[in-house]
Structure 1
């Protein structure tokens, strides 16, 4: 009897979740960051190859087959439709990988993302972006790298708390590489699970380390420059009036975000009858993206490089055209995401903000174009993602400006005005290890800090 009890006790000790000391956690974070940088580099190079093939090589080779009665501009909707078909076939054959809401839910509990969904997410997102969809690579990279971190923790048999830290390290590594702003990427990964501010403080330093190392690996291997992605022609010296403008632009950005949510939900309602017809819905989604692009070619792709076009030549479009482009981009994002395409909406939201912000600056010359664009970009994104701090840091780096005060005012104004505007339904308060939810948290937030249980198949 004693031997049996000792044996059972030893077995329980072997299977009990274990934790790491701080040095071990930081070492693991560094490893996750390096792996994350390699994953981001591989994804980037494959994506660039696909994009060059579909939007440069093939159009040149197929141009002789078009005629005056069927001009080459039709290639846009054909390519987008074929891309949609490929997305649909991927989802049908490989399963439905989760979206942003899925990732946020799994971060809370069980603290990790099922790595089995990684292949479907990689393939579907590559086809989605290749087709010209208004969805970026940040969400796929977050899911892929986040699942790698969680997988590592699962193999080591770690507690839920440490498993979640590893997952955050993977997410931060993805965003640090993609945004080119390691601190902003780490903060974004930690803010996105919540509606009212960062709560998983214990993951901040490990996630930042992972983001920095991923950023270094990504920049070294791709040869991309370090510094601001967008180059504004002039950056005004900040005054108190500019700070007030930031608040006004934050309110306008919040209103724009509310309009986007309305458009998004309307498209979702219209596509609901086709939800179970995966291939047809994705193909029609690709067709709709292509048709929108025939009228507004600026809406193609996820907006990272297209924002630079708005900065350089947007003033020639005029106020009305800029506002129409912003509205068309809302429709393009909605068609993209509701048709099953996989990708993130951060840069598409930035693009909407840039177009509307420049239109405001053209209509009210006292508002500097740089302030108008950057503040509205921040406000629109914050209203949807609830990430005021990280958005401020990211945009300050991307714009290569010293406008943190005015950006943060716009961000916080938008955040406060849209506190009840919920687009990512799974955002919530953290799960407390002791089982005691903090004041104001829902009872459903109470999850004991035990070993991460195995994921159940998604329905």
Structure 2
């Protein structure tokens, strides 16, 4: 950092913070980042075990017990939509009695403006997200963990009476710790937390190293606590050895990025259509959650692969069963998963949509590979997974890193080309409307965006 920028930051801090606010040195920032990361890893571990127990009770041991009470004339597949609907009712009741915990768009808004997340929303987010995910909703634990661990970082900053700049860094450390644990990637996870607030590139550069320190500590604690293996979780070996990459594979990455971008635009269209359809009852949270549960339940009856948040289903329902799936079936799964995600979000369920979007991309990529055999399935799947996620989240760098780690492959250049192709094609089309350029403090104390400051 230059002397001029340091002077500018000192003026900004004086305007934004009380005289008693504490400005951390660089190494103290890293030390507190490690503490936030370790605490975040512990929180993620506890959340993981609670969620696993709930899923075991509802969809395994509890399912067998309840099915034993089903009358002989009632097919067992009815269990799926009944549980999803009852879960929707549970979500509605959580929202009614515990309030509306922040979704990702609100988290982004709070990071930009206040620089912190509200810890008071944590209990509601924990309860609502656990019910949402256990009910089979197409949302995962990443957004709840971002809210929980991000607010933990904010709480620690508040207790230390830190400046706004330091508070935002600690909030990012909590968010990065959550995603490092969830994605199993101590670099890509924190990078994702830093990319997603913006539509056109990472801008809170001062938080990069602290967030990654927090991510590494969280990753270590989470892996030790859960006993999960380190490394890729998807087996692409079934598709054969990848060929040596050539310029033609890079061209494939760009074309697949185009297809994934179009799929992302389709998802945004479906999302907005569903929102328009429910606008007259959007404040009736119990009714909406009940309808959302019913919708995702019946979609899962027709396409069982669409149930849950899809981290494991990408492997078990798509990759492992790819030999028995046809192009039309895969395209049907892709489309219905998009609808299920929209029903889940608009129903008021709480969770993240990263792995559900990865799932839609994987099904689309397999369909393309089966329809065009010259394209290697591994390349088609990973490029489409990256492209559709980037079209929605605007995170080309972290998405590329995360998918390279999850797949345990060496095709990062191809995934990167697909990611950035989608990023460039959809830069003016967004789902998260709170994504924007960071705000800076002018010397007069007025908030201006980076673009306005440079005009």
Tell me the residue number matched to 2:451. Answer: 440
Tell me the residue number matched to 2:168. Answer: 164
The whole-number CA distance in structure 1 between the counterparts of 2:452 and 2:102 is: 25
The whole-number CA distance in structure 1 between the counterparts of 2:154 and 2:68 is: 50
Please tell me whether the aligned partners of residues 32 and 170 of structure 1 are also in contact (alpha carbons under 8 angstroms). Answer: yes
The whole-number CA distance in structure 1 between the counterparts of 2:229 and 2:452 is: 43
The whole-number CA distance in structure 2 between the counterparts of 1:326 and 1:14 is: 51
| Displacement of 1:68 | 4.3
The whole-number CA distance in structure 2 between the counterparts of 1:433 and 1:407 is: 37
Tell me the residue number matched to 2:436. Answer: 428
CA distances 1:46-87 after superposition (whole Å, capped 9, x unpaired): 000000000001211122222443111100011101111111
CA distances 1:13-50 after superposition (whole Å, capped 9, x unpaired): 98532201011111100000000000000000000000
Structure 1, unpaired ranges of 5+: 1-12, 444-459
Secondary structure at the counterpart of residue 440 of structure 1: helix
| Displacement of 1:189 | 0.6
Tell me the residue number matched to 1:8. Answer: none
Please tell me whether the aligned partners of residues 271 and 339 of structure 1 are also in contact (alpha carbons under 8 angstroms). Answer: no
The whole-number CA distance in structure 1 between the counterparts of 2:288 and 2:222 is: 35
Tell me the residue number matched to 1:451. Answer: none
Q: 1:2-401 to 2 correspondence within 5 Å? A: 15-233=19-237, 234=240, 235-309=242-316, 310-401=318-409
Change in Cα spacing, 1:14 to 1:403, as seen in structure 2 (3 Å) is closer
Please tell me whether the aligned partners of residues 439 and 450 of structure 2 are also in contact (alpha carbons under 8 angstroms). Answer: no
The whole-number CA distance in structure 2 between the counterparts of 1:439 and 1:290 is: 45
Instruction: Provide TM-score, normalisation by structure 2.
Output: 0.93
| Displacement of 1:147 | 0.4
The whole-number CA distance in structure 2 between the counterparts of 1:398 and 1:192 is: 19
Structure 2, unpaired ranges of 5+: 1-16
CA distances 1:358-384 after superposition (whole Å, capped 9, x unpaired): 100000011000000000000000000
CA distances 1:232-267 after superposition (whole Å, capped 9, x unpaired): 023332111110000000000000001111111111
Please tell me whether the aligned partners of residues 440 and 450 of structure 2 are also in contact (alpha carbons under 8 angstroms). Answer: no
Please tell me whether the aligned partners of residues 429 and 441 of structure 1 are also in contact (alpha carbons under 8 angstroms). Answer: no
| Displacement of 1:162 | 0.5
The whole-number CA distance in structure 2 between the counterparts of 1:104 and 1:123 is: 21
| Displacement of 1:436 | 6.9
Secondary structure at the counterpart of residue 288 of structure 2: helix
Change in Cα spacing, 1:18 to 1:408, as seen in structure 2 (3 Å) is same
| Displacement of 1:272 | 1.7
Instruction: Provide TM-score, normalisation by structure 1.
Output: 0.92
Please tell me whether the aligned partners of residues 183 and 211 of structure 1 are also in contact (alpha carbons under 8 angstroms). Answer: yes
Q: Decide which moves more: 62-71 or 43-52.
A: 62-71
Please tell me whether the aligned partners of residues 135 and 348 of structure 1 are also in contact (alpha carbons under 8 angstroms). Answer: yes
| Displacement of 1:433 | 3.5
- How many pairs does the alignment contain? 432
Tell me the residue number matched to 1:455. Answer: none
Secondary structure at the counterpart of residue 233 of structure 2: coil
